[in-house]
Chains A and B, each alone.
Chain A
């Protein structure tokens, strides 16, 4: 195997395809050599600053650093963003993204999300293909969780998180990969994004991201 799957990651099988859950929040699809990433919200920091909210500007660079790290790690053929790649309108962070696309050896595609209001042609000028949805080998890639019979859905949008309880009134909430029988929702990749706490049922599988480790916290 070319890539590493060390203890910090989780390998799962869906419809006899192998997927690796990475602590950055990305998923690597072995058969397709494709990296799935949801909700990066690039440009959010700059957007806030432009409107007078002084979020530290260093926070903006971290997302692209993280993207570079994870693509260097898996060396995928395709990087597929599952929506909300950019938080809002075009701003200076676009230049940095452009540089990253030029640097990145993989093909880049974007499944458009509710925040993606930057015109399609600007992406296409960079060689980034934009889709509303994508169906590949029975796997349905979308931004909003969407179920279609007979397919397995990968999506983002929700920024899923879960709450854990322990003896001694201990509680923790953590971002997670959230898997049901027919879909998997990815955690938000961006560092300046929140999370939305979900309450799983017994049938769901939950993989929490804990200090750089992906840990299965459900029975399944």
Chain B
């Protein structure tokens, strides 16, 4: 059978369903069958699953003309999804096509949710298509003879690649792909990505540095774009009484009543929140204020039990629910037809995310998608106004890939040592072919090998370090069963707090919550989780056993989880909106609604215009506040605040506590700070930026915090055995302690240095900072000495998440401080 012949089979299947294949689907089929690698740019719900699953099946038919009578064993394809919640949907679509064609192909899922017995079954015989997560794929590479298992692979599809790209899970994927390219000679690599600013680069990262070398000598890999464009309309929910609308906050409950008529007027509404905690609270409050919603609304987030999530997803498809309060767990990939209405609570902080969520709504075909934006505090209305412009101008952000993530590399090398063992001379070229490690030197490579075998760079007397051993033939192998087990357990732990299962005493799994939350409680305490009020009965073996409670409680489960920073694209638009305000154009409904706040800001200070840089100072009970407003987004403010604090602290001994949000930053001190000295000494200079920034990093906690993930991923911190009684306390340390030990005894350690590098590249964004400083230097600086906190300053000065920086002697500071006593 030739390729045209074979695509006819698919075309007639589409016909039998009364569907027509989209051009992008047909293009993908052809490219795949030609043996090319590629990246497909298509939104969720567009039919992307069939764009890639169809040619995988067709390829099998082509190679096995007797497929109807004889099934060829062995895995054919792996489908990677970043969230295990998404796998069911893909399985159903894939199985439907495979069955209708009578192929006899099987589709299986392997994720953290998969039972032990199912895993064992899969080990004996792999399904033809395996749907899995990056972590579970890594675990497969950690099992013996993985090379034999994967030999028959013809394709790997990485779904939602844009989600993985900017994270260390993306690096995990790059490394896994570099291995699979060797062990699976017939492999085609495909990614699926939503629209991001750097699609070309996304493809480079996926395919590695030799992206043009594909199967059977076919030149080139392809980037295929689906030409579907959707129109989006943004509607802000503007408070009727702006005067009483709060200046700060992140929950948005003040406007709860405003969305009730919207919910009631549509068949199904998805209410997107930014965090799981916010999701829990909104769900709870909606039910409390409107008991008539009981049974008609549901909640969906990543910590809720799988069965409940699936039930909710199905209910959305059937349109049997009035509303679902959700987090990102629902805006990624879950395939269902658009719902009638989507509401976004609080700023989504980025355009891409907002668009993806908006795309979930569609009233009638051909009509634009409508998304309602509900601000959680007054100034967020400004963001709403900016978002509208961003949508109109089609602005999208880049996802920045990680480079030289030694922690992930070390984890990967130990993974290979746990399964078959590896010879460095075979693996090094594979590593060097990845985008992430293209710049790795032989010296750094040897450092990594020494690290996993010696635990340091030189052999020391008496050392009993044990992890990876080297056999006489030069094979790097883990011999200890305990090391192997601890390593397997740590693979899934890329950035996650210790999770605890929540179960009813009588049995029945409710979901997982972070350990720190439950550790604050004692038996008898009540809390709200998964929409239920629960009483903690006891803690047993990493399980919180609970029973239902009738008590009322305000103790809603909360989750750590970073705050999203405003992307640079969003910050620019936000500045422009602000400036249009300074010019008193007030030409959007959001800006009009904000006028009393702007008036007050004008009265007490100013609203800075395009060529103005505003600094405000005032004194309160808490000390001397100095607020700076670059409007550059949280990350840049984080960097700029510690840079400026560091430079000021060189002038005279002083201690600062720093706070920042997307609009500006604060330096708070117990001493008076004369802004004139800051200006006279030219402290916003972009000269010596790198040097000063590096030194300021040493005085703050930023790098120390980054080190936490690095220590966990590289296996330096062992987080314990989940759901097991085995005591590991004697092996538990924390990354903070390790950070100090490295700083004092091994400051040239690559993993320690990586914490600083990552802070620079991913947190502080040095490039953006430099541009911002140059902009400030061209602006007119306006210093306002205010009587009290201004509307702009309020959300910043009330922020409790703070960084500190000091040039004073500790003993001197202690003398001015007081001991925290028992109340």
Contact = CB atoms under 8 A, between A and B. Distances in A.
Contact of B456 (A47, A56, A88, A210): A56
Interface stretch (B13-21, B390-398, B461-469): B461-469
Interface string B396-420: 0000000000000000000000000
- B: contact size bracket: 35 or more
A62 B809 CA distance: 24
A46 B461 CA distance: 12
A170 to B, nearest CB: 6
B586 interface: no
A59 B820 contact: no
Contacts of A92: 462-464
Interface in A40-59: 46-59
Contact of B822 (A57, A59, A194, A200): A200
B622 A164 contact: no
B554 interface: no
Contacts of A170: 655, 657, 670, 804, 813, 817
Interface string B790-823: 0000000000001010000111011111111110
A211 B741 contact: no
B713 to A, nearest CB: 13
Interface stretch (A100-108, A124-132, A147-155, A212-220): A212-220
A92 B655 CA distance: 44
Interface string A70-95: 00000000000000000110011001
Closest 6 CB pairs of A and B: A168-B623, A54-B455, A92-B462, A166-B817, A167-B670, A52-B467
A191 B736 CA distance: 13
Interface string B712-744: 000111100000000000110110111001101
A172 B817 contact: yes
9 contacts: A49-B464, A51-B483, A51-B718, A95-B462, A164-B820, A165-B819, A166-B816, A170-B804, A210-B814
A164 B814 contact: yes
A66 interface: no
A52 B624 CA distance: 49
A209 to B, nearest CB: 10
B655 A165 contact: no
A57 B456 contact: yes
Contacts of B668: 168-169
A27 to B, nearest CB: 20
Interface in A155-211: 162-172, 174, 191-194, 199-202, 206, 208, 210-211
B483 A166 contact: no
Contacts of B818: 164-166
B460 interface: yes
B797 to A, nearest CB: 10
Contacts of A58: 745-746
A50 B733 CA distance: 14
Nearest to B451: A54
Contact of B482 (A51, A169, A210, A217): A51
A143 to B, nearest CB: 16
A210 B733 contact: no
Contacts of B669: 168
A115 B742 CA distance: 25
B715 A52 contact: yes
A57 B460 contact: yes
B260 interface: no
B711 to A, nearest CB: 9
B811 A213 contact: yes
Nearest to B733: A48
Contacts of A194: 733-734, 736-737
A164 B819 contact: yes
A93 to B, nearest CB: 8
Contacts of A199: 820-822
Contacts of B816: 166-167
Given A58-B745, A169-B668, A170-B657, A87 B730 contact: yes
Contacts of B462: 46, 92, 95
A162 B802 contact: no
B213 interface: no
A162 B455 contact: no
A166 B741 CA distance: 28
A55 B819 contact: no
Contacts of B670: 166-168, 170
Contacts of B814: 164, 172, 174, 208, 210, 215, 217
B560 interface: no
Given A57-B460, A57-B463, 13 more contacts: A57-B455, A57-B465, A59-B741, A167-B622, A168-B668, A169-B623, A170-B817, A194-B737, A201-B822, A213-B811, A215-B814, A217-B819, A218-B819
B463 A53 contact: no
Contacts of A88: 730
Interface string B664-690: 000011100000000000000000000
Interface in B738-762: 738, 741-742, 744-746, 749
Interface in B598-656: 622-624, 655-656
B486 interface: yes
A117 to B, nearest CB: 10
A92 B462 CA distance: 6
Nearest to A167: B670
Nearest to B410: A54
Nearest to B480: A52
B821 A202 contact: yes
A171 to B, nearest CB: 8
A215 B817 CA distance: 12
Contacts of A51: 466, 482-483, 486, 718, 731
Nearest to B483: A52
Contacts of A163: 819-820
A50 B715 CA distance: 13
Contacts of B623: 167-169
B811 A210 contact: yes
Contacts of A171: 804
A216 to B, nearest CB: 10
Contacts of B741: 55-56, 59, 191-192
